[in-house]
Structure 1
Amino acid sequence: MSDTDSETGDIPQHPPRKIPSILVTGTPGTGKTTTSEMIANATGLEHIDVGKLCKEKNMYESYMEDFDTHVLDEDKLLDELEEVLAPGGKVVDFHTCEVFPERWFDLVIVLRTNNTVLYDRLQTRKYNERKVTENIECEIMQVVLDEAKASYAEEIVIELQSNSVDDMEENVERTRQWVEAFKRNNA
């Protein structure tokens, strides 16, 4: 049996998922990991912290001293996650999104944060001044939101504010309700 449909020549799609996978993305400091952990706890989905996974499996090509950051080996990451994400049931958090195939996610949440709040969070993390400035500029220019809108179907991308614990709790509840509706609609 071939990998293509003999009549149309199309590559067959995975069967529809019964349980969704969600990408939570945003500028560093917007609350991705905390929100993702809370969503996983509220929904029973499994949380995958891509930054932590990359560190554990050394998925880097190089290191950029000026920005105090590693350069991701995208191929290693994609190979690692392909089979993990296919069946659904995951909450993935990462600061960028365009690297991931559209087919992996049923919902893409882009967290946004007020620049003053974001600045304080990044300072608390002891980011160097250049890294703080770059991330603040990314948030001002809505770089991650624009990447998400360019990389995924418009109807699955939502922008949520993440300035406070109340915002996070509201975002988690909204996502929990969405997950329940997805499960009902795909049972």
Structure 2
Amino acid sequence: MESKFPNILITGTPGTGKTTLSRLLEDQLSQEYPGKFTLIGLSKMIVDQMLFKNWNKDFDVPEFDEDMVCDALEPRIQQGGLIIDFHSCGFFPRDWFDIIILLRATNTNIYDRLIERGFPEKKITENIEAEIFNVVHDEVYESFDPSIIISQNSNTVDEMQANLEQALQIIRQKIISC
């Protein structure tokens, strides 16, 4: 999908820093390109717009409906300039994103971050196992062209800052080349 302002997906296992990086990126891009980028926290949008048919009582989360999510996002995707923060990606059409940022973190960091958020132990264990078994990593590389994927470690403040700078550099280059 060609657009002057690229669509960006920031993905990774819960606790890898997606929301933090997404917000930093939106703040910076909004200063450089006012009104051209919009951040969508997709988990919140799914709940707010009821883009699900079932609720998983074990994990206390909606089981989002892929078609409903894609239908809700499609008009906005076509405009470009979206930054989408979500933990899953295999259901998105392959041509929706110009840049995919895959965040990774150590199990200790994921554990500490999810404990801090008050996640139940069962949900923490599931997410740590997902990171160990490369669930999101494999989904990203099976779903998208590897040339648009940026895989970054997100364990420290310094790594997060480096991730932000790398992402900004790539986005600026993408804007210039369009």
Provide TM-score, normalisation by structure 2.
0.93
1:175 to 164, 167, 173: 167
2:3 to 4, 17, 22: 17
Once residues 133 and 78 of structure 2 are traced to their aligned partners in structure 1, the CA distance between those partners, rounded to angstroms, is: 32
Equivalent in 13, 18, 41 of residue 32 of structure 1: 18
Q: How many residues align?
A: 172
Match of 2:29 among 24, 43, 56: 43
Distance 2:46 2:67 in 1: 12
What is the percent sequence identity of the aligned residues? 41
Q: Of 131, 141, 145, which residue of structure 2 is paired with 1:149?
A: 141
Counterpart Cα distance in 1 of 2:157 and 2:56: 33
Partner of 1:92, secondary structure, is strand
Farther off after superposition, 66-75 or 108-117: 66-75
- 1:3-14 to structure 2, matched below 5 A, reads none
Q: Does 1:72 align with 2:64?
A: yes
| Post-superposition CA distance 1:111-160 (Å, at most 9, x none) | 00111011011111111111111100001111101000000001111210
Instruction: Report the secondary structure of 1:71's partner residue.
Output: strand
The alignment status of 1:185 with 2:177, answered yes or no, reads: yes
RMSD: 1.1
Higher-Rg structure is 1
CA distance in 2, matches of 1:179, 1:32: 17
Q: Offset at 1:67?
A: 2.2
2:155 aligns to what? Answer: 163
Corresponding residue number in structure 2 for 1:122 = 114
Does structure 2 conserve the Cα–Cα contact (< 8 Å) formed by 1:42 and 1:172? no
The one-character-per-residue Cα deviations of 1:22-54 (angstroms, maximum 9, x if unpaired) are 100000111111111111111232111101111
Measured in 2, the distance between the counterparts of 1:64 and 1:90 equals: 28
Deviation at residue 102 of structure 1 after TM alignment: 1.2
Unaligned runs of 5+ in 2: 31-36
Write out the 4+ residue segments of structure 1 that deviate beyond 3 Å after TM superposition: none
* Partner SS state of residue 160, structure 2: helix
Amino acid paired to 1:38? L
Three-state SS of the structure 1 residue aligned to 2:5 is coil
Partner Cα distance (1:156, 1:92) in 2: 15
* Native 8 Å contact 2:10 2:84 kept in 1: yes
Indicate conservation of the 8 Å contact 2:89/2:140, yes or no: yes
Match of 2:95, SS?
helix
Q: Which whole-Å CA distance do the structure 2 matches of 1:100 and 1:149 have between them?
A: 13
How many angstroms apart in 1 are the aligned matches of 2:109 and 2:100? 23
Letter in 2 for 1:65: K
